[in-house]
Chain A
């Protein structure tokens, strides 16, 4: 048995990892039981079917996925794919707008004195900590007054203001540590403003950008509360679809299939961003 010295202790690796496992046991068990296992069960559920009165029948079938792909009773229709696409679109536009706003905000804050910076960051965090439903209530009131409720503008304003801190904070973290000498060098070479940004600033902010995208785009794909409340419940997103299946339709297998679709999109998004981020850094 190999002994090693760990933080001043002489102990076997086995014993050490045993202690570590004990410490981690509670959390790992909790998350495994309530999140990981159910997600695996959902993989199985997605291949099950629904009885006439709404109970789960464990008969293997691809029906749920065929239905998701559009092969329904009414012939082929793109409704479910439309809903998925709309969710991705809302996430994409929200993320793009958040980034477009976060860059100026990050630079604005970074350029101030230490005290002002702390105050400004605090100002950003406070609304974020208030309740989502409360903020949406406020937006609805304002947009009703402006005649813009319900509508896409209202939805995106609501979404962007909800997600802004997730984009801003990672970006701010890298902007604060920006190496301005590179920027100055670019300017000494008479580069235009946009070239300075694209070649001297942007590449340095890539890790923060990647984090900002991951934290904004992926959770937003599942958003449905804010778009629903500000969009008059007119257009369903993936979240509404899942809610419908778990609620009114009592079709758990189909709901599980939709969840899997969303999960796959999430993982694909994660993979893409990390891949691109890694490529860019190389």
Chain B
């Protein structure tokens, strides 16, 4: 009997301990995409401000959003989110408006990002990095690959094993672009055509299936695939290490993305969060960040400080005529269910 009571008490204490175990100390907890911040930067932040910065990672935006909805909004101080998530998170009241007084470095941001379509006036977010979605391939297996989405979507033109991207908006967006439509199309006909295209690609024997962007990159990098849909940052990092790899934006156009820093509604340390965001917007920190990520910097002041080869690399900073063919993914509001059913069709048939 006594043993039973002791065991019960111990168990209760352990359970309680579990829920307390994640209490933050004097720190900010940053929730971001994996391998998206130079590991030196949190240490520099701590040196400058005395606040520790802990980085936690997620795989894709939608999973992150549902985590935030399920109570994650009180676990993190800064969340780096995809552009199209910002208005939705704001509507769901999961993020709080930023205090411009605490962000003097926000003046460094380039004009086009200050008035970005997803958050004009930068009320809820500050830009973190930007980039594109493109085609990554092996030059040693497909030297004269035509820079077109057909290399992935047309079974006859697939140069070998290919990987599609396991993200609804990105995959359907790519398919829509390949047919000359907008990535934010709400037309049933256009979406059905896009789904048909992806289904053709999927059913080909050369298709290795769907993987997240970084998964596709890994497969191309270790030669188990010849081409994949990859985000520019991951792709350029791989290309820099191995010159047999290449990244290109297909001629039909593609998706441009901006990742933005936001502060969740119940952040444990909102003051620290603002200091972290301000820290990232510092010109030198921004340059160091982009040097590490090989992504585009939205910081006009950092642009002058980044590595020269990156500044001249069209994979990171596409030329003006390519930029015209790039589209932002926007929230599709009430067309969500349509997209859902289309994506289900792609995965079901």
Contacts and interface: CB of A to CB of B under 8 A. Distances in A.
B3 to A, nearest CB: 15
A87 to B, nearest CB: 11
Interface string A240-265: 11001011111100000000000000
A184 interface: no
Interface in A207-265: 231-236, 240-241, 244, 246-251
Nearest to A149: B208
A82 B345 CA distance: 10
A231 B336 contact: no
Contacts of B337: 72-73, 251
A235 B348 contact: yes
Interface stretch (A52-60, A107-115, A123-131): A52-60
Contact of B66 (A73, A83, A150, A247): A247
Contacts of B66: 246-248, 250
Interface string B185-198: 00010001000000
Nearest to A231: B209
Interface string B41-75: 00000000000000000001011011001000000
A74 interface: yes
B278 to A, nearest CB: 30
Given A54-B69, A236-B347, A73 B338 contact: yes
Contacts of B349: 79, 82
23 contacts: A52-B336, A53-B88, A73-B337, A73-B341, A74-B188, A74-B338, A79-B345, A79-B348, A80-B344, A83-B344, A144-B224, A231-B209, A233-B166, A233-B211, A235-B348, A236-B344, A244-B340, A247-B63, A249-B62, A249-B336, A249-B340, A250-B62, A250-B66
Interface residues of B, number: 33
A43 to B, nearest CB: 21
Interface in A160-214: none
Contacts of B224: 144
Given A248-B66, A250-B66, A73 B188 contact: yes
Contact of B341 (A79, A149, A247): A79
List the 7 closest A-B pairs by CB distance, nearest first: A232-B209, A248-B62, A236-B347, A79-B348, A233-B210, A72-B341, A234-B209
B168 interface: yes
Contacts of A12: none
A68 B336 CA distance: 17
Contact of A250 (B65, B207, B209, B341): B65
A72 B188 CA distance: 12
Contacts of B345: 74, 77, 79
Given A233-B210, A248-B66, A53 B92 contact: yes
A244 B167 CA distance: 11
Contact of A74 (B192, B208, B210, B334): B192
Nearest to A63: B337
B25 interface: no
A52 B342 CA distance: 17
B348 A80 contact: yes
A54 B92 CA distance: 9
Nearest to A86: B348
A244 B347 CA distance: 11
A231 B62 CA distance: 22
A54 B224 CA distance: 38
Contacts of B69: 54, 250
B17 interface: no
B198 to A, nearest CB: 11
A233 B163 CA distance: 11
B340 A234 contact: no
A244 B344 CA distance: 9
Given A74-B192, A249-B340, A53 B91 contact: yes
Contact of B207 (A144, A232, A246, A247): A232
A199 to B, nearest CB: 43
Contacts of A246: 66
A52 B331 CA distance: 11
A24 B168 CA distance: 47
Contact of A52 (B65, B211, B334, B338): B334
A240 B88 CA distance: 24
Interface in A65-80: 72-74, 77, 79-80
Interface string B80-124: 000000001001100000000000000000000000000000000
Contacts of A235: 347-348
A231 B208 CA distance: 9
Contacts of B347: 233-236, 240
Contacts of B344: 79-80, 83, 236, 241, 244
A65 B88 CA distance: 27
Contacts of B340: 244, 249, 251
Contacts of B168: 248
A35 B46 CA distance: 44
A241 B211 CA distance: 17
Contacts of A83: 344, 348
B90 to A, nearest CB: 10
